[in-house]
Chain A
Amino acid sequence: MSLVRDLRSRALSGGGALLTVLALVLALLISAVLIVFSDPDVLEALPYFFAYPPDTFAAMWESVSSAYWALFTGSIVDPGAQSVRGFFAPLSETLVNATPLIAAGLAFGLPFRTGLFYIGGEGAIVLGAICAGYVGFAWDLPIVIHLLVAVAAGLLGGAVWGGIPGLLKARTGAHEVITTIMLNYVALYLIAYLLTTSAFQRPGRSDPISPVIDASAQMPALVPGLRVHVGLVFVLIAAGVVSWLLTRSTLGFRLRAVGSNPDAARNAGMGVGRSYVEVMLIAGALAGLAGAVEALGTQRTLTGGISAGLGFDAITVALLGRSRPLGTVLAGLLFGALRAGGIDMQAETGTPVDIILVVQSLVVLFIAAPPLVKSVFRVRAVEADGLAPATKGSSL
């Protein structure tokens, strides 16, 4: 628990944007080393390194630059594209990947600000996808309304899945990390089971996959011909709502107070248990939104792998974004870009897509260990900043 607290205070205070950027740079540098030494061309040139070093260096440069160039062209813009649409297609892919990450990141960040370590995003995503998807393919509703009802069902499904551990925590003190991890398993097996039932399984198929979402419930593309869809708008609205909630609402005031000092909050007459339930309901709904955009917008069907670890990547997104809505949006875009670009990188240069995981993990590792990054880059200003309150506290 103290570890969680420590991680929390670091993630919330941290050293600011500079530190985040430096962490990213450092992660890319270290990943470059991995790219280099996993490249067959480099390994070929290495045995005669001392006889003719330029070969090795050339191979290394070639390896890293082409991999990172592919990462760029796969995630931002593609200068070699034949059409305007093709030019922007990578950006669209980035946004498609970022959309659920942002929603699920918000679902982690909000409880985090309330002092809860909500690992249940994965399960709530699955529940959101099940509910939204079921409404999407099984119900028959007019256009627009169908989509809205399906999204609402997704929010509701997620909220229930988030509310259960919230209620358990408030009533019995059960630790949310344990209960949410367990509920993740329940959700994953639930969808696996449902996809074998006649209500969910696509007629004529023997593998676990649902019918295609009705056109009326599908999230329309924002730009014709590109994959980026209306889900992005939903998610950005959600980010705006969360931001308002945290800074401008009485509920947010209470949640932040409970997160920072539950004892003082209780003494001031705030319902701490009630706050836990409420924040988990909202968090579940946000994760449910992530599931809904995946089911209705990106995949347009349900499979057992609908969440695909989104809930866990979202934790890193939220930590990188310091659990603040804007930060989470930006971090979600970054991770979306890494995901989108990573696929191209593997396709074009043979660099394994797992490198992206290494980059993501290293970024978070460095964020969690600011002194490491500071010592590498000898950041003085940040250090002085971080030191002042500590010494002040001990001296007064």
Chain B
Amino acid sequence: MWREASALKLELRGITKRFGSLVANDSIDLSVEPGEIHCLLGENGAGKSTLMNVLYGLLQPDGGEIAVDGEPVRFGDPGDAMAAGIGMVHQHFMLVPVFTVAENVMLGNEHVRAGGFLDRARARREVSEMSSRYGLDVDPDALVEDLPVGVQQRVEIIKALVRDARVLILDEPTAVLTPQETNELMEVMRQLTESGTSIVFITHKLREVKAVADRITVIRLGKVVATTSPDASESELASMMVGRDVSLSLDKEAAQPGEATFSVRDLCVVDDRGQLVVDHLSLDVRRGEIMAVAGVQGNGQTELVEALMGLQERVTGSAVLEGHELVGRSTRQVLDAGVGYVPEDRKVDGLVPTFSVAENLVLDLHEKRPYAAGPSYRPAVVREKAAELVREFDVRTSSVDTLVSTLSGGNQQKVVVAREMSRPLKLFIAAQPTRGLDVGSIEFVHRRILEERDRGNPVLIVSTELDEVYALADRIAVMYRGQVVGIVGPDTPRDDMGLMMAGVPLQHAASGQPDARSDSAGGAP
């Protein structure tokens, strides 16, 4: 019953979209040939998502037109776009967690049997068929909430395919995936294009672009700056994206580590569900070095950092910073002990969205002099200090009174980093410091973190992005199920890291000396 998806050529001609005075898309031309993977590359805020929302009927363009197989079309809503064969997988999945895969796939597209019963069998059959045809390996009867993120994403893809999508838009699909899952997704993408489906792949990760793209369109500040082939080098692509030359690899000086001023011993954390999520973890960080905690998301890294910051309730063990115990202290006391902390998710944990840039910059210090005089808060002083920090950290904002929620992700993160570095520090902790940031901001944040190291502070970074770990770390602690599998040098090969992240300890794990080599991943547990 499944006809082979007929190929479809999609063209965007001169699409313009304005929000007030902001031109998010400025007469953008884009054509997607049948069966190609077309990468849309651009920094956050360049207008990629806006363009795709126009294409998917979520936004109406102010100018230009969309053409399918040469015929101009108008998409009033996503239903029109779907009917024309366009499917979209959003960055944040639109799935009902307590439904099965099949139920999610049929949602909004329910077939009814005689008597008003839902045709679940048909939905299950569709899922199985799609799953086997494209090697997606999805069980139609599994509950979505039980599935790993990578599989949930494939459910989204199946949803689009079942609705006959012949052009599939993937909006930052790899942001939530582990390296392995990313490879699997790329495999799926290739399979899809072989059967004639074309894919618009939105991303800002150059490595992925080079790996899968047939053609690349680079967007900057709402305009197409280039359409190119994947032969272009990463640094060429990066400078097109940012508009200036950027150095992709951080050329950093070798660390000059001093004595270990921060030691974690036998730290255990029990979470709300009673699970032991950090399991007798011990770790030393020396002055002037960056210790990166690597690992697949959900192996206790978040809880480790929260425990250090006084944000977890059931914590045992110790964490000593220059002779002061941090475990059992309140967050306030930990901050006052000289810890700078960039939380994992700036929107959820780092910023107050209804506050201005200035107010967010003193979130931790608002009760202290000179920002407060007794019980009263001194906005004038705060604004002055904020203006200084905005300059120093290159936060792009029209004024310090601008609501922080209107800033781009990169600038929001700069606000958080600026705040956390504006106190005298003895330890700097950052969790996922550059998640969702563009190349330019990543470079900036990394430089700042290095400066903190070079100032002689111990720095602890938690990141699930291996690129970031390699770029920053002087030593790497790999975490798996709440434990440190091993502490290795930054020259450990990616494959070995991948194995350690899956819980396989290296037999000859590097002792932590930057020059120590680890050989192949031999030792199975």
Contact of A391 among B19, B309, B405 (CB under 8 A): B19
> Known contacts A253-B366, A394-B53, A395-B53; is A264 also within 8 Å of B375 by CB?
no
> Known contacts A250-B377, A264-B363, A396-B44; is A257 also within 8 Å of B19 by CB?
no
In angstroms, Cα B378 to Cα A249, docked, is 8
Q: What is the distance, in angstroms, from A389's C-beta to the closest C-beta of chain B?
A: 7
- Which residues of chain B are within 8 angstroms of A236 by Cβ–Cβ distance? none
Contact of B375 among A249, A271, A395 (CB under 8 A): A249
Q: What is the distance, in angstroms, from B272's C-beta to the closest C-beta of chain A?
A: 11
- Which residues of chain B are within 8 angstroms of A263 by Cβ–Cβ distance? 348-349
A256 within 8 A of B: yes
Is the beta-carbon distance between A267 and B309 smaller than 8 angstroms? yes
In angstroms, Cα B351 to Cα A269, docked, is 13
Q: What is the distance, in angstroms, from B178's C-beta to the closest C-beta of chain A?
A: 25
Q: What is the distance, in angstroms, from A8's C-beta to the closest C-beta of chain B?
A: 11
Q: What is the distance, in angstroms, from A282's C-beta to the closest C-beta of chain B?
A: 13
Is the beta-carbon distance between B376 and A271 smaller than 8 angstroms? no
> Known contacts A260-B355, A267-B331, A395-B53; is A248 also within 8 Å of B377 by CB?
yes
- Which residues of chain B are within 8 angstroms of A18 by Cβ–Cβ distance? none
Centre residue among A252, A264, A267, A391 by max chain B CB count within 10 A:
A267
Contact of A264 among B19, B44, B334, B351 (CB under 8 A): B351
Q: Quick one: which of B81-131 are within 8 Å of A by CB?
A: none
Contact of A267 among B24, B50, B336, B341 (CB under 8 A): B341
Is the beta-carbon distance between A395 and B376 smaller than 8 angstroms? no
> Known contacts A253-B359, A394-B58, A395-B59; is A388 also within 8 Å of B366 by CB?
no
B335 within 8 A of A: yes
Contact of B59 among A266, A388, A391, A396 (CB under 8 A): A391
- Which residues of chain B are within 8 angstroms of A249 by Cβ–Cβ distance? 375-377
Is the beta-carbon distance between A253 and B19 smaller than 8 angstroms? no
Contact of A257 among B331, B363, B376, B409 (CB under 8 A): B363
> Known contacts A250-B375, A391-B19; is A267 also within 8 Å of B45 by CB?
no
> Known contacts A249-B376, A267-B331; is A395 also within 8 Å of B49 by CB?
yes
B364 within 8 A of A: yes
Is the beta-carbon distance between B366 and A254 smaller than 8 angstroms? yes
Is the beta-carbon distance between A396 and B366 smaller than 8 angstroms? no
Q: What is the distance, in angstroms, from B353's C-beta to the closest C-beta of chain A?
A: 6
Is the beta-carbon distance between A269 and B406 smaller than 8 angstroms? no
B31 within 8 A of A: no
Residue interface bits B14-50, CB-to-A below 8 A is 1, else 0: 0000011010100000000000000000001101011
Q: What is the distance, in angstroms, from A6's C-beta to the closest C-beta of chain B?
A: 15
A261 within 8 A of B: yes
> Known contacts A264-B348, A269-B330, A388-B20; is A396 also within 8 Å of B376 by CB?
no
Is the beta-carbon distance between B50 and A395 smaller than 8 angstroms? yes
Q: What is the distance, in angstroms, from B364's C-beta to the closest C-beta of chain A?
A: 4
Is the beta-carbon distance between A256 and B355 smaller than 8 angstroms? yes
Is the beta-carbon distance between B349 and A267 smaller than 8 angstroms? yes
Q: What is the distance, in angstroms, from B56's C-beta to the closest C-beta of chain A?
A: 11
- Which residues of chain B are within 8 angstroms of A353 by Cβ–Cβ distance? none
Is the beta-carbon distance between B53 and A388 smaller than 8 angstroms? no
- Which residues of chain B are within 8 angstroms of A253 by Cβ–Cβ distance? 359, 366, 377
- Which residues of chain B are within 8 angstroms of A260 by Cβ–Cβ distance? 352-355
In angstroms, Cα B346 to Cα A264, docked, is 8
- Which residues of chain B are within 8 angstroms of A248 by Cβ–Cβ distance? 376-377, 379
B521 within 8 A of A: no
A233 within 8 A of B: no
B350 within 8 A of A: yes
Contact of A250 among B311, B351, B376 (CB under 8 A): B376
> Known contacts A248-B377, A252-B377; is A394 also within 8 Å of B352 by CB?
no
B316 within 8 A of A: no
> Known contacts A260-B352, A261-B351, A396-B44; is A268 also within 8 Å of B364 by CB?
yes
In angstroms, Cα B350 to Cα A394, docked, is 20
A265 within 8 A of B: yes
> Known contacts A250-B372, A267-B341; is A396 also within 8 Å of B45 by CB?
yes
Is the beta-carbon distance between A396 and B49 smaller than 8 angstroms? yes
Centre residue among B49, B330, B334, B366 by max chain A CB count within 10 A:
B366
Centre residue among A248, A263, A388 by max chain B CB count within 10 A:
A263
Further contacts, 4 of them, CB under 8 A, given A249-B377, A393-B405, A395-B47: A264-B350, A267-B311, A389-B405, A396-B49
B interface residues, Cβ below 8 angstroms from A? 19-20, 22, 24, 44-45, 47, 49-50, 53, 58-59, 309, 311, 330-332, 334-336, 341, 343, 348-355, 359, 363-364, 366-367, 372, 375-377, 379, 405-406, 408-409
Nearest 10 pairs of A and B residues by beta carbon: A269-B332, A395-B50, A268-B363, A268-B364, A260-B354, A269-B335, A250-B367, A269-B331, A250-B372, A261-B352
A to B CB contacts below 8 Å, 8 in the list: A252-B377, A254-B366, A257-B359, A267-B343, A395-B24, A395-B50, A395-B53, A396-B408
A interface residues, Cβ below 8 angstroms from B? 248-254, 256-257, 260-261, 263-271, 388-389, 391-396
